[in-house]
Amino acid sequence: MAAQAPDAVQPAVLRDLQPGDIDWVIRSHGELYAAEYGFDASFKALVADIAAEFVASCDATRERCWIAEMDGAPVGSLFLVKASDDVAKFRLLLIDPKARGQKLGQRMVTESIAFARQCGYRKITLWTQSNLGAARKIYQHAGFALVATEPHRSFGQNLIGETWELVL
């Protein structure tokens, strides 16, 4: 077997949430969204609330978190949570810039849609912002439809919130 070059990048793997991942999810969202979109600390606080609620009340039979990992370190996240008996909700999709271009977002979305179907959900919904172009492309590619928009002021920015849905 040929030896691999020392600087070769290993492909990312998707795995379940492990101890320490929640800290990474919160920190990474806060840092990345501040750097790329100018979001203030209130965004990181929202992410912390969402993550804490998931850890405190996760029903592993109907909810899940996917962590993308490369070279032993987390580089992506996506949460699927129960909104109602029939509706699941995507939360906290993130791909670290060093892991972009590998279709990790698409892989996580595809796996989570399959999981949602297995759980008997009839629809997945999500809320995002109009300026998050890469995430919007992932959702469109997966078959989500934009069903509502609403201008708002959040995270220190004037934004247009978007609600997307996928009928399963």
The CATH number of the domain holding residue 32 is: 3.40.630.30
What pTM, to 2 d.p., does this model score? 0.92
Residue 133 covered by a domain: yes
Domain count, the chain: 1
* Whole-number CA gyration radius for the chain: 16
Asked whether the predicted pLDDT for residue 2 surpasses 70, the reply is: no
- Per residue in 43-78, pLDDT (tens digit) is 999 999 999 999 999 999 999 999 999 999 999 999
Q: Is the distance from CB of 55 to CB of 77 less than 8 angstroms? A: no
* Per-residue model confidence (pLDDT) at position 8: 55
Residue 4 covered by a domain: no
- Per residue in 113-168, pLDDT (tens digit) is 999 999 999 999 999 999 999 999 999 999 999 999 999 999 999 999 999 999 99
- What three-state secondary structure class fits 55? helix
Residue 108 covered by a domain: yes
Residue 7 covered by a domain: no
For 70, the domain range is 13-167
- Per residue in 5-16, pLDDT (tens digit) is 455 556 899 999
Asked whether the predicted pLDDT for residue 1 surpasses 60, the reply is: no
Asked whether the predicted pLDDT for residue 35 surpasses 50, the reply is: yes
Q: Both tokens of residue 54?
A: 């998931």
